[in-house]
Each structure stands twice: as C-alpha cells, then as structure tokens.
Amino acid sequence: MTNNWIQEYLDSMYPDIPNNCKTPIVMDEYPYPDNFSLIMNTQTTEQMPVVDNYLNILDEVTLNKIEELKADNYHDEDMIDFIKEYGSNNFLAYYEEYVRKGEELDYDVVDAFVEEFGIQCIEHFDDAYIGQYDSEEQFAEQYIGEMYISNLDDLPVVIDWTATWNCNLKYDFSFNDGYVFRSNF
C-alpha cells in the first residue's frame, strides 16, 4: 500500500494520469518525497521496468559503478532490482560476487543462500554450499552414509532420518528451498 504523501505527490504532479497508472518506487535509503521515481506505462496501465529514473535518487559512487558494470555487459535492470532489494551500499560491496556466483551455479541457489545468511555472507557461498536435496531426510541419509557408515543398507536397524536431521544435523546445516548449506563457514 502506498503512503498517503506519495499518492498526494503523484496526484499533484500528474493530475491527468489515472491512479492505477502511477507506481511509485521508494528506495530504502531515500525515504523522502523528492527521492522516488514514477514508473508508468500509459498504454497498458501496467508497471513496466524503467531504469532511467534512478539517476535522480542514487549517489554518484553508485551511479559510477552502474555505468562501469554496464560497460562490462551487466544489465542495468538487474542492478536496479538488486539495489531495491539490498540497498546501494550492498550493491557496491557484493553485487559482482553475487552475479559471479549466480552465473557459475544458478541464481536460485544463490538467492536461497542470501535468504538464509544475508548478502553480506556471499563470499562464503563456496564454503557453505553442499548441494540440492528433495528433503532434509534425504540429505541426512546421504551425509551419514558418506561420513560415518559406508553401506547403510547392510545395517539391521531402522533409522529415523527426520529425527537425525532435527536432533543433530539442523544445527550445522541449513535447508532452504531444497538447497543445503553449512551453517558454520
């Protein structure tokens, strides 16, 4: 839901445009009325990806970094999306590593890692990432099999893999959207 002052500002600046065509974007680091962009598509009234307006709200260091990365074929819309999600300071510090890891492996796994540990830990991704599993139980069985018992099928016992995960492994590992990461990196 849009704050009232934002809607009032948009209405005063663009009285002829219907409200459903006005989509303000407020950057987390710039929560003031003068520091947001109007993104609109007058043809369809849908939000559309426009990045021209970031010039008005980002600091010079961030803008220079965007231009530098654009020259290296980074996509400006992706950079702006990252800034909206994590802020310009994190963009300057971690964006290139985030993209490198996403291109190397897959953005879904990198996003799961960032959701679990934060963008500031992206440098530890390689140390933390173990693999993709259908469940915590599947990971527990494989991990125990590789680390402790070479042939689980020959054991005359029944192992509760859910309890193994919940009582032991979840303290050292994180499971997020099917991806497993070491928690102690």
At 40, the pLDDT band (50, 70, 90 cuts) reads very low
Tokens of residue 52, six digits: 């021209």
What is the percent of the chain where pLDDT is above 90? 56
- For 106-143, the pLDDT digits (tens) are 999 999 999 999 999 999 999 999 999 999 999 999 99
- For 50-63, the pLDDT digits (tens) are 455 666 778 889 99
Whole-number average pLDDT of the chain: 80
CB-CB contact of 29 with 87 (8 Å): yes
Q: In whole angstroms, what is the distance from residue 81 CA to residue 76 CA?
A: 9
Domains of the chain, by residue range, sit at 1-57, 127-185
In 11-89, where do the E strands start and end?
23-26, 36-39
At 35, the pLDDT band (50, 70, 90 cuts) reads very low
Distances (CA, A) of 149 to 65, 120, 143, 152: 51, 36, 9, 6
